[in-house]
Amino acid sequence: MITLKISEKLRAFLPEVVLSCIESDVMVCEHFPDLWEEIAMKTGELAVSLRVEDISRIPAIDASRRAYRLCGKDPARYRLSAEALLRRIIQGKGIYQVNNVVDLLNLVSVSSGYSIGGYDADKIEGEVEFGVGVDHEPYEGIGRGELNIESLPVFRDANGPFGTPTSDSVRTMVTMSTRRFFMVIIDFGVPEELEKTTELAIRLLKKYAFAQHVETKFIKN
């Protein structure tokens, strides 16, 4: 399994951070009808039960927004991925259809409020560190172009930054050629929901991405 550690700088800012790591072999396909039935059911429930002003009160999102402020980043300007997905649902836009692996990750995210990173494990080089972005680090976010990651919590490998709770990078994104998948559920202070969310992610990976050789690990201070 990919080795991951939390930097001392981030530990100082966010001593409660916990990462739930899942790595597995997967089969990627463009569309999985049964998965989208489950997504449609969940997003339909959320659309009628949530208002925009309720999103920031979801425990995992509230904790994540506080974490951004502690790191020095404005969570209203650099929205967390989970928050952005929920806003789309409430606005009637639904969530993007990408492929079965990314789609099930998004389902876990909107179901829990956790921001989740999802990466092609074979595109990650060496050990990974979860740290804090610095000024002028080059970063191309998926669907966002160049992203200013200064003061954002960020995943780095030997080739530099590749993931944040706002947007993952193009460099390590999941594509149709992905065979080994690395998922990180980022908990900034709601640990009581993390194990249940991890179990949900594994269930969906096995059901909709035919995951095999599943490995899990929790990283914390």
pLDDT tens, residue by residue, 89-125 = 999 998 989 999 999 999 999 999 999 999 999 999 9
Written as tens digits, the pLDDT of the chain (221 aa) is 999 999 999 999 999 999 999 999 999 999 899 999 999 999 999 999 999 999 999 999 999 999 999 999 999 999 999 999 999 999 999 898 999 999 999 999 999 999 999 999 999 999 999 999 999 899 999 988 899 999 999 999 999 999 999 999 999 999 999 999 999 999 999 999 999 999 999 999 999 999 999 999 999 97
Q: Whole-angstrom Cα distance, residue 189 to residue 68?
A: 12
User: Is there a contact between 154 and 164 (Cβ–Cβ < 8 Å)?
Assistant: yes
User: Is there a contact between 113 and 189 (Cβ–Cβ < 8 Å)?
Assistant: no
**Strand pairing report for 4-6 and 128-132:** parallel
Residue 14, pLDDT score = 96
Q: How many domains does the chain have?
A: 1
**What is the total residue count of the chain?**
221
- CATH number at 36 reads 3.50.40.10
Q: Which domain holds residue 209?
A: 4-220
CA geometry: angle 120, 102, 149, nearest 5 deg: 70
For residue 179 the two structure tokens come to 């065979």
For residue 109 the two structure tokens come to 């995210």
pTM: 0.95
Chain centroid to Cα 120, Å, comes to 13
pLDDT tens, residue by residue, 18-46 = 999 999 999 999 989 999 999 999 999 99
For residue 159 the two structure tokens come to 């080739």
Residue 85 vs residues 61, 102, 127: alpha-carbon distances, Å:
12, 13, 29
Classify burial at 193, counting beta carbons within 10 Å of its beta carbon; exposed 0-12, middle 13-18, buried 19 or more: middle
Residue 144, pLDDT score = 83
Q: Which of 47, 68, 174, 148 is nearest to 115 (CA)?
A: 68
Strand partners, 161: 156
